[in-house]
Amino acid sequence: MPARAGRERWVIAMKKLKHEAELFKAALHEAMKYAEERGAVEFEPSDSASLKLLYVYRLLVHDKLLQPLPEDQVGEAALRHKLAMWYARQLPEDHPLLK
């Protein structure tokens, strides 16, 4: 399989979700709750959203709840999308954020 074919799959997978911003907000909240309940971290109010995002992404990958991105594709936009997709898969099909 040529290297290009894998990249095309990635572009298709990056399809924008209709309510991606709302899904991301809810996903970050749930992922932070998961991390704190697991005892892996205690977030401070002064922690930036970017720092929280990167931490929960790495934790979810470590716990095998998310497939890792290639390191050269790890960026805030890709992580926001990945986290939103992760959360969307946990919601029931008739959830308002999925319509």
Domain ranges of the chain: 17-98
Tell me how far apart the alpha carbons of residues 83 and 28 are, in angstroms, rounded to a whole number. Answer: 7
Q: Can you spell out the DSSP letters for 70-89?
A: PGGG--HHHHHHHHHHHHHH
Amino acid 19: pLDDT: 87
Q: Per-residue pLDDT for 2 more than 60? A: no
CB neighbour list of residue 68: distance below 8 Å, 6 or more residues apart = 61
Which residue type does 13 have? Answer: A
Structure tokens at 60: 């979810």
Amino acid 38: pLDDT: 94
Per-residue pLDDT tens digits for 58-84 = 999 999 999 999 999 999 999 999 999
pTM of the model: 0.79
What's the CATH superfamily of 17-98? Answer: Uncharacterised protein PF16691 family (1.20.120.1930)
Per-residue pLDDT tens digits for 6-57 = 444 444 355 677 888 999 999 999 999 999 999 999 999 999 999 999 999 9
